[in-house]
Amino acid sequence: MIKYILTVLFLGAVAGYANSVWGSVVADSWLSYLFDFALLVLLFVMGLSFGLNKAAMGKLRRVGVKILVLPFCIALGSIVGGLVGGLLLDINVFGSMAVCAGFGWYTLAGPLAGQLLGTEFGALGFAVNFLRELLTIASISLTAKAGKYVSVAFGGATTMDTTLPVIVRYCSSEALISAFSSGFILSVAAPFVITAIASFG
């Protein structure tokens, strides 16, 4: 899957460069509408997939509001990490916090940060969140020894899809509902949190 994403990203960059060199074949306003539409489709599909999973919905009802504690702590930790990183690198701290509020969802964080904060933070948003997913997969054998919640926290929003299989494999099936629900909540929250933080930058 990663090779397809990188291929599409490369082709998009080439198309964007060609568009800027040879004239505005595609208007910026159309790109904005297309991005908003794609984001809405992504959120709809996430909600649909979660709603169709009867087992996950049943467990979520039994756990209740306590299910919000883990994703809230993960979100807070990610944003604080962005603040610390921004201060250490001497860059816009609101931009730094906003890209970290992607919680690992690089296909959202990159384009949204780019739209709200400029190309530099768009590239940073993609890189930071893409690396978060890769490191989650690469280090799962180590983080799982520290506990299932450590692995889930490390994965952020990716634990509802791409990193879910490795988390279940190394942390047992007991981690399934925590990982899926946390990833789902963070995925839904990400676009709103990124937009809110970026508005201060």
Q: What is the mean pLDDT of the chain?
A: 84
Helix and strand element counts for the chain (H, E): 11, 0
pTM listed for this prediction: 0.73
Considering the chain, what percentage of its residues have pLDDT values greater than 90?
Answer: 42
Phi, psi of 51 (to 5 degrees): -65, -30
- Per-residue HEC secondary structure of 13-33 comes to HHHHHHHHHCCCCCCHHHHHH
**Site of tokens 């509408």:** 33
Q: Where exactly are the structural domains of the chain?
A: 27-198
Closest CA to 101 of 127, 124, 76, 119: 76
Cβ atoms within 10 Å, residue 127:
14
Question: How many residues comprise the chain?
Answer: 201
Query: Please, which pLDDT band fits residue 55 given cuts at 50, 70 and 90?
Result: low
Query: Please, which pLDDT band fits residue 163 given cuts at 50, 70 and 90?
Result: confident
What tens digit of pLDDT does each residue of 120-139 get? 999 999 999 999 998 998 88
Query: Please, which pLDDT band fits residue 160 given cuts at 50, 70 and 90?
Result: confident
pLDDT of residue 76: 97
